[in-house]
């Protein structure tokens, strides 16, 4: 797989554009001289203080301060004991980000299975990294990784372009999952028909929550 580092400027844009274009990109987590990760297949966009589902909606706190950091910064917070991996978007001081909800496992599958407390699994195990909590558990990502840059070659958490773009007609959209108040616009993006998407049901020409 021919991988190319995605530059910081990619993330310095509207979060819904970044969320859609992150589909098909490759998330990698280093474990010493080994690596684990896979192809991003599901994301959600979050805006700033006007977004009722955003961590920025209550202003700057000890937790949400990372949302005001530079584009491409890692922001991890916990919900019900599960870590959620976010990548900050737009310029510094403009709080917004993208939640990585699911990947299709490609690298280090046995490492991820061990981190999940599972027996050795093959690539057909849909539940390994399907969902934001399973994903961070499999990749052992937590709040201690806040502040890392996914465009930094020395970061243990990085995102690459593999040279293949997910076409627009292959991208599904829905409202975000698990939020008590959502925006009118559908801000969840996922690869249609991909079995590693966290939640879907067949409907019409694609899959929706």
pLDDT tens digits for range 118-127: 876 665 578 8
| Tokens linked to 153 | 């070659």
Q: Which stretch of 48-52, 101-105, 125-129, 169-173 has the lowest confidence by average pLDDT?
A: 48-52
Domains of the chain: 4-208 (3.10.300.10)
What is the mean pLDDT of the segment spanning 162-170? 93
| Per-residue pLDDT at 57 | 53
CA distance 72 to 52: 22
Side-chain-side CA neighbours of residue 203 (13 Å): 9
Q: Which sign, positive or negative, has the C-alpha torsion 51, 203, 19, 42?
A: positive
Q: For residue range 26-84, list pLDDT tens digits in order.
A: 999 999 999 999 999 999 998 876 765 566 556 567 776 777 789 999 999 888 888 99
Residue 149 pLDDT: 97
């Amino acid at each position: 797989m021919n991988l190319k580092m995605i530059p910081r400027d990619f993330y310095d844009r509207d979060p819904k554009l970044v969320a859609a274009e992150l589909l098909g990109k490759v998330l990698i987590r280093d474990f010493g001289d080994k690596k684990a990760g896979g192809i991003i297949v599901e994301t959600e966009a979050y805006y700033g203080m006007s977004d009722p589902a955003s961590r920025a909606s209550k202003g700057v706190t000890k937790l949400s301060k990372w949302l005001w950091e530079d584009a491409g910064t890692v922001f991890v917070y916990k919900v019900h004991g599960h870590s959620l991996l976010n990548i900050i978007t737009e310029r510094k001081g403009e709080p917004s980000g993208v939640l990585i909800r699911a990947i299709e496992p490609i690298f280090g599958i046995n490492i991820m299975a061990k981190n999940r407390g599972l027996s050795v699994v093959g690539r057909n195990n849909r539940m390994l990294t399907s969902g934001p909590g399973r994903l961070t558990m499999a990749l052992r990502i937590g709040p201690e990784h806040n502040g890392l840059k996914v465009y930094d070659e020395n970061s243990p958490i990085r995102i690459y372009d593999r040279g293949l773009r997910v076409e627009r007609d292959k991208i599904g959209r829905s409202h975000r999952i698990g939020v008590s108040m959502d925006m009118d616009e559908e801000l969840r993006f996922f690869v249609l028909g991909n079995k590693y998407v966290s939640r879907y049901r067949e409907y019409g020409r694609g899959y929706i929550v």
